[in-house]
Amino acid sequence: MCSLPGGPCTDFNIFCSRKGVSCEYRRIPVREMKKRLFLLGDWTVLFCLRGGVAAEWDEERADLGEMGLLVLEDYPADFSLTCKGAPDGEILLVTLTARD
């Protein structure tokens, strides 16, 4: 029998054509203090890597547990959201932009 130390292996993959979409990502610690993020691009993926994260925007709220995923699209150019996390909270913020 074989096992991985620390639990199972988890992958997170986004596949897209380089001709059609550009992609940028940032790994961001989100602690107990609120962090305001301004979203650029056409689609944003918020992936909770560790801890728990609450994302709030306008009148909406999404609570993400570890390995939780939030996809946002069709938002205005000046759109922002606020994230608040557990003491060890960490997110991966992925921005996808359509190439013209």
Domain edges within the chain: 29-98
Written as six digits, the tokens of 55 are: 């994302």
pTM of the model: 0.79
Provide CATH code, domain 29-98.
Answer: 2.60.120.10
Give 13-20's long-range contacts (Cβ < 8 A, gap of 24+): 14/45, 14/94, 14/96, 16/96, 19/99, 20/98, 20/99
Average pLDDT over the chain, rounded to whole? 85
pLDDT of residue 17: 80
pLDDT of residue 63: 94
Nearest Cα to Cα of residue 45 among 35, 60, 55? 55
Contact 23, 14 (CB under 8 A): yes
Give kind and range of the element (H or E) at residue 43. Answer: strand 43-50
- Over range 73-98, report the average pLDDT: 89
pLDDT of residue 2: 55
- Model confidence band, residue 8 (pLDDT cutoffs 50, 70, 90): low
Phi, psi of 36, rounded to the nearest 5 degrees: -95, 130
